[in-house]
């Protein structure tokens, strides 16, 4: 294996590690987000049809347009969750159930660093597993490149 390939593997692995660390840090930042009461403008369930292997599948998403006030300034948003896969449902009933819970709670979470960023569900559970996979893939690629470097 040539030096160019070893160098490419090392840089690729390092980039994967840095990517994962950056987004782990962003997830930790979510713990600092503050709750705020919201005023709901509009809400409902939207449907998206996606082709799958042999059938068309319908997915249902709760949507909520809302406003909130931070330090006397009013903001508008329609972001329900950071990770959209958390609010993607195969049945309308599930989406309506989550929607009703969100409307009943009447809270959003906003970033103190940038109050215009807000979500109704402060969860990113779908990200954590992916980030661990990316991080450990990067570590593996770096180790492989170091192994090949040592072998030459």
Give residue-wise pLDDT tens across range 86-124.
Answer: 678 888 899 899 889 888 889 999 999 999 999 898 776
With vertex at residue 24, the alpha carbon angle to CA 65 and CA 27, rounded to the nearest 5 degrees, is 30
CA atoms of 58 and 92, how far apart (whole Å) = 9
Residue carrying structure tokens 């319908």: 58
Instruction: Collapse the DSSP code of 111 into the 3-class scheme (helix H, G, I; strand E, B; otherwise coil) and give the result.
Output: coil
Range of the domain at 85: 34-121
The number of folded domains in the chain is: 2
CA atoms of 149 and 91, how far apart (whole Å) = 52
CA atoms of 120 and 22, how far apart (whole Å) = 23
Report the predicted TM-score, pTM, of the whole model to 2 decimal places: 0.68
Residues 132 and 85 in one domain: no
Residues 54 and 115 in one domain: yes
- Residue 49 parent element (H or E): strand 34-51
In this model, does residue 42 exceed pLDDT 70?
yes
């Amino acid at each position: 294996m040539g030096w160019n390939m070893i160098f490419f593997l090392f840089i690729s692995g390092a980039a994967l590690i840095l990517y994962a660390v950056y987004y782990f840090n962003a997830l930790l930042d979510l713990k600092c987000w503050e709750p705020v009461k919201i005023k709901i403008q509009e809400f409902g369930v939207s449907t998206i049809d996606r082709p799958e292997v042999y059938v068309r599948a319908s997915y249902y998403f709760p949507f909520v347009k809302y406003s909130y006030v931070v330090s006397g300034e009013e903001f508008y948003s329609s972001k329900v969750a950071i990770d959209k896969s958390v609010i993607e449902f195969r049945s309308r009933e599930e989406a309506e159930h989550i929607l009703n819970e969100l409307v009943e709670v009447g809270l959003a979470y906003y970033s103190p660093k940038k109050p215009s960023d807000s979500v109704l569900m402060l969860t990113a559970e779908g990200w954590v597993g992916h980030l661990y996979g990316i991080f450990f893939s990067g570590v593996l690629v770096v180790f492989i490149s170091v192994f090949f470097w040592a072998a030459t």
